[in-house]
Amino acid sequence: MRSMIFGGFALLSVLLGACASATPSPIPGTPTAAPPARIDPASSWIEVDLARQVVLLHEAGRVLAELPASTGVTSDPQYATPPGLYRVQSMERGPIESVPDVFVSDVIMFDLGKGNGFHSRPMDAQGNILDATLGQPSTAGCVRVGDSSRLFDFARMGMWVWIH
């Protein structure tokens, strides 16, 4: 299944030239940890907190939103959501068929080499959610986001993505 997902995202990356939601509410705050020095805290950037299974949207030194998410189900480097500092490399609203008869939307790729990115919960061709899991690891490395549309609208090409 991982290879099918990777293959779908690899195809997406070629096409792009390179792969029941909770209502988020703005929350005051700071990053859950100090961001890497290369990220200007006053800029806009995306944080993935693996321990808490959330995606935080940062802008101008504050957290705009905290979105429930699910990341890689294992620590195996082949299937994990790898910690590190990335940049948004491609974006496709979709829906995109990631494996036969399974679609995702709001795809934001940050690691084209491993086929990892953000996307919606998986759905069928009619848009019915097939797996609503959020808040616990459940993917093959990508970051599933409950309000993927909010993340997609926030993201920009080249934006920093920090996963820890």
pLDDT digits (tens, 9 = 90+) for 32-84: 567 888 999 889 999 999 999 999 999 999 999 999 999 998 878 778 899 99
Nearest to 143 by CA among 116, 103, 105: 116
Contact 72, 80 (CB under 8 A): yes
* Domains of the chain by residue range: 2-163
Q: What's the pLDDT band for 7 if we cut at 50, 70, 90?
A: very low
Whole-model pTM: value is: 0.79
**Does residue 164 have a pLDDT over 50?**
yes
- In angstroms, rounded to a whole number, what is the distance separating the alpha carbons of residues 119 and 106? 5
Tokens representing 98? 């990631």
CB under 8 Å to 71, separation ≥6 — which residues?
A: 48, 50, 53, 80, 81, 137, 139, 141, 142, 143, 144
- In angstroms, rounded to a whole number, what is the distance separating the alpha carbons of residues 147 and 145? 6
Please tell me the predicted confidence (pLDDT) of residue 32: 56
Asked if the 2-163 domain carries CATH number 3.30.70.1350, the reply is: no
